[in-house]
Amino acid sequence: MSGSAGRGEFASFPRHPLTIVRGSGAHLWADDGRRYVDLGASHGTANMGHAHPRIVAAIAEQAQRLIQLAPSYGAPSRTAFVDRLFDLLPPSLDRVYLSNSGTESVEAAIKFARSATGRPKVVAARRAFHGRTMGSLSATWRPEFRAPFEPLVPGFVHVPFNDAAALEAAVDEQTALVLLEPVQGEGGVHVADPGFLAAARRATERAGALLAFDEVQSGLGRTGRTFAFEHSGVVPDLLTLGKSLAGGLPVGATITTAEVERRFRGSHQSTFGGNPVVMAAADAALAVLVEEHLADRAARLGDRAIGRLRSFQSSELREVRGVGLLIGLELKGRAAPILERLRDRGYLALAAGANVIRLLPPLVIDEADWEVGIDALGELMGDG
Ligand SMILES: Cc1ncc(COP(=O)(O)O)c(C=O)c1O
């Protein structure tokens, strides 16, 4: 383990006292043989479940042919994935830049917007989470994530989430980009009002700025639609994806328009972006998403669970928020003690800030596992 006592991983984030050796679907097994239900989808990277056989086969097949290739060469697995991705998107979003993580997909969106508009300013939202590299961290809101690393990138401002008037007032002739999560995940699970996203669209069009939706967490079926922006009908100029996009391998994608590409000046690249094995996994992951109707499943399981959670008579529960299988339970007290007790019962869920329990299960989760998990949560919160 990490720490000052000996050699180990750098202790920049808290660790769980568990070593996981195997996964399948929504299940994870620890080294002592105990089975857990992963209600956090390993930070949202397992929408299609752990070790989905179709994704495993695609990885193995591609790894035997070619593992890595400079992104400047063509690769069949990349072409196949990109074609499949565009089939899921509105026609205006027809360019994709490939990278290795969510934060990189946001960095690219910021760079593309600044370059294409020639402007410096980025408008983001309070409670936003966009990643932890210097550009995306500058768009991230929480002071404890930001303060130790200041000065951050200049030009970023934050407006209250779902405050259309504040957003419209912040967007001006210096604005390159408005960057929003259609559902804030890490910031406590807050769903954007469709009117807020529509106001962002209007304000960016009026000012000649670009609009980006960060769907690293909310995308790929999670909210009951392929992309969360579909709930509002507002189409952005840039869309960032990551997490489950390659079925669990590291990936980022920044999707944009031909017009942004035409106006872009400069260069931007990453050695591993579009890696053939990752692309083969991503192609298989998108096939699973579509053919197993995972967005519909998320809508159905999510609606039922949100109804059930809202019926809990618990004095510890302040509010249940969410859409599809992206659900937050805001507590009056701290989330950590309940999460620990839930883990002891065999369920691994996430926090989203100090007071919010976040449920983000694989979209393939077995209905019984999901319902029993929700019941366990109710018992721990003293329902009834
Ligand atoms: C909305 C959003 N954007 C960006 C990121 C950063 O992704 P990564 O951890 O892959 O860099 C996250 C991670 O939780 C996220 O939820």
Is 3 part of any domain? no
Tokens found for residue 71: 């992104």
- Among residues 259, 291, 323, the one where a domain terminates is 291
Active site residue 149: no
Q: What is the CATH number of the domain that holds 250?
A: 3.40.640.10
The active-site residue, picked from 214, 283, 369, 383, is 214
Find out whether the beta carbon of 162 lies less than 6 Å from any atom of ligand 1: no
Q: Are residues 302 and 240 part of one domain?
A: no
Task: Provide the domain limits for residue 361.
Answer: 20-51+294-380
Question: Do residue 44 and residue 58 come from a single domain?
Answer: no
Question: Bridge-partner residues for 331, per DSSP?
Answer: 317
Q: Does the Cβ of 215 fall within 6 Å of ligand 1?
A: no
Last residue of a domain, one of 291, 313, 334: 291
Q: Are residues 216 and 349 in the same domain?
A: no
Is position 71 within any domain?
Answer: yes
What CATH number corresponds to the domain at position 357? Answer: 3.90.1150.10
Cis amide leading into 151 (omega within 30): yes
Integer-rounded Cα radius of gyration of the chain? 20
User: Does residue 10 belong to any structural domain of this protein?
Assistant: no
The SS3 call for residue 91 is: coil
243 has catalytic annotation: yes
pLDDT digits (tens, 9 = 90+) for 110-146: 999 999 999 999 999 999 999 999 999 999 999 999 9
User: Which residues lie closer than 8 Å to 163 by C-beta, 6 or more apart?
Assistant: 196
Tell me if 121 is assigned to some domain.
yes
Q: Does 198 lie in the same domain as 282?
A: yes
Q: How confident is the model at residue 260 (pLDDT cuts 50, 70, 90)?
A: very high
**Count of structural domains, the chain:** 2
My answer on whether 85 and 143 are in the same domain is yes
What phi-psi label fits residue 274: left (phi over 0), alpha (psi between -120 and 50 degrees) or beta? left
C-alpha span between 215 and 359 (Å, rounded): 17
**Looking at 243, 264, 283, 312, which residue is catalytic?**
243
Closest by Cα among 174, 205, 188, 209 to 125? 188
Catalytic site residue 156? no
Q: What percent of the chain has pLDDT over 70?
A: 98
130 lines ligand 1 (CB under 6 A): yes
Together in a domain, 285 and 307: no
Please check whether residues 39 and 66 belong to one and the same domain: no
**Confidence band of 384 (pLDDT split at 50, 70, 90):** low
Type of residue at 93 = L
Listed range (116-120, 156-160, 313-317) with the worst mean pLDDT: 313-317
Question: How many residues are recorded in the chain?
Answer: 384
> Do 251 and 324 lie in a common domain?
no
Closest by Cα among 8, 3, 33 to 21: 33
| Residue 185 in contact with ligand 1 by CB distance below 6 A | yes
Q: Do 287 and 376 fall within a single domain?
A: no
Q: CA distances (Å), 171 to each of 10, 144, 176, in order?
A: 40, 26, 9
Kindly report, residue by residue over 206-223, the tens digit of the pLDDT: 999 999 999 999 999 999
CA-to-CA distance for 236 and 115, rounded, in angstroms? 17
Is ligand 1 within 6 A of the CB of residue 217?
yes
Average pLDDT over residues 80-85: 98
Q: Is residue 4 included in any domain, yes or no?
A: no
The gap between the terminal CA atoms of the chain, to the nearest Å, is 41
Pocket test for ligand 1, best of 181, 186, 222 (most atoms within 8 A of CB): 186
